């Protein structure tokens, strides 16, 4: 299917390699258009030879336009120079770039050319007729050249950007991880950093959750200690089992009711009334003898109403 006068922006490998920068104000021998773009579009030699003259006087800008901006409506400050002496050769269309050596970007562009900076290259913006042939996007003719742009595009392996206002041969379903590693190593790095950041965030969240849990436990334990004292009991009179029961009760009123019951049990056991002045005196009854004549070392208070009943019955029997 033919796509008539489609606006295409294509970049080509090594477009700034081998450029002569010895003449002030002119970069010579830039590759403007090659046999195949970085996105796989083919430019037959017949297309390149018949269109080479169209690049004469084509404006050169820094960067492509953004989004849906009109490529033909560019700002003056982004204009870098013009293409002169375009010519078709066997491996592509070449030309020279005449520029203002005092342009704000002149030294930067020159440095990138000399050092073959990865990610910097030329991209032409043209009106073209194209067809899909045997699964390949072939540009059959170029009707006009809108601009030639100097772009920084790490999206491609050899540093060139390509976009099209029409259909693209690239199918996301066909992209493999190996292609992404090759063509977009920056994406792999970004994803790795994002995963590392997620892992760090998860670790921090886990620590925060643990700290919050510890703080809540500390506040709960402090509240229970205060409730124990308010009930007239000492911490020594609270067994581990009974304390676990208190911890499991969320309602402070329910805990206080249970502690009140515990305090009554202590009094009913024959021990002294537990007060703050007693300072946690252990309840004991050395004169009380268990069966067999052994001395019962301490009075044990049950942790439920059933225990209380058994305890009182045992006390009555011994009396």
Give me the DSSP letters along 234-294. Answer: -GGGS-HHHHHHHHH---HHHHHHHHHHHHHHHHHTTPPPP-GGGTSPPP--TT-B-TTSP
pLDDT score for 275:
38
Name every residue whose Cβ is closer than 8 Å to that of residue 181 and which is 6 or more positions away in sequence: 188
Q: What is the pLDDT of residues 163-200, one digit of tens each?
A: 333 444 445 555 677 767 766 677 777 778 778 777 88
pLDDT confidence tier of residue 270, bands split at 50, 70 and 90: low
First to last CA, the chain: 110
Q: What is the pLDDT of residues 77-101, one digit of tens each?
A: 889 999 999 999 988 999 999 999 9
Q: How far is the C-alpha of 198 from the C-alpha of 193, rounded, in Å?
A: 8
Higher pLDDT, 275 or 134: 134
Please, what is the average pLDDT of the chain? 76
Q: How far is the C-alpha of 236 from the C-alpha of 219, rounded, in Å?
A: 20
pLDDT score for 163:
35
DSSP state of 3: E
Alpha helices in the chain (DSSP H): 45-51, 106-114, 177-183, 185-230, 240-248, 252-268, 305-318
Least confident of 74-78, 146-150, 274-278: 274-278
pLDDT confidence tier of residue 162, bands split at 50, 70 and 90: very low
Q: What is the pLDDT of residues 90-144, one digit of tens each?
A: 889 999 999 999 999 999 999 988 888 887 888 898 998 888 888 788 999 999 9
pLDDT score for 77:
85
pLDDT at 273 over 80: no
pLDDT score for 172:
54
Question: Taking residues 282-300, what's their average pLDDT?
Answer: 41
Q: How far is the C-alpha of 263 from the C-alpha of 59, rounded, in Å?
A: 95
pLDDT score for 259:
92
pLDDT score for 96:
95
């Amino acid at each position: 299917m033919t796509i008539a006068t489609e606006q295409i922006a294509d970049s080509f490998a090594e477009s700034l390699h081998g450029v002569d920068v010895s003449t002030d104000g002119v970069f010579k021998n830039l590759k403007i258009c090659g046999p195949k773009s970085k996105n796989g579009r083919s430019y037959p030699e017949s297309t390149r030879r018949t269109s080479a003259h169209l690049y004469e006087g084509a404006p050169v800008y820094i960067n492509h336009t953004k989004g849906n901006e009109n490529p033909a409506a560019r700002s003056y400050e982004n204009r870098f120079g013009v293409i002169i002496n375009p010519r078709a050769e066997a491996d592509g269309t070449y030309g020279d770039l005449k520029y203002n050596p005092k342009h704000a970007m002149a030294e930067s562009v020159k440095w990138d050319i000399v050092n073959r900076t990865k990610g910097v290259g030329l991209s032409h913006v043209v009106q073209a007729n194209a067809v899909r042939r045997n699964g390949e996007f072939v540009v059959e003719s170029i009707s006009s050249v809108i601009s030639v742009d100097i772009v920084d595009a790490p999206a491609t392996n050899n540093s060139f950007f390509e976009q099209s206002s029409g259909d693209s041969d690239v199918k996301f379903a066909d992209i493999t991880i190996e292609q992404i590693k090759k063509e977009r190593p920056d994406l792999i790095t970004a994803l790795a950093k994002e995963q590392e950041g997620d892992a760090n965030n998860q670790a921090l969240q886990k620590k925060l959750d643990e700290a919050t849990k510890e703080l809540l436990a500390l506040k709960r334990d402090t509240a229970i200690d205060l409730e124990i004292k308010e009930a007239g009991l000492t911490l020594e009179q609270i067994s581990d089992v009974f304390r676990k029961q208190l911890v499991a009760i969320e309602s402070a009123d329910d805990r206080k009711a249970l502690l009140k019951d515990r305090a009554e049990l202590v009094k009913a056991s024959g021990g002294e009334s537990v007060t703050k002045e007693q300072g946690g005196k252990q309840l004991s009854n050395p004169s009380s003898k268990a069966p067999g004549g052994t001395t019962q070392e301490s009075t044990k208070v049950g942790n439920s109403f059933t225990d209380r009943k058994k305890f009182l019955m045992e006390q009555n029997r011994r009396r």
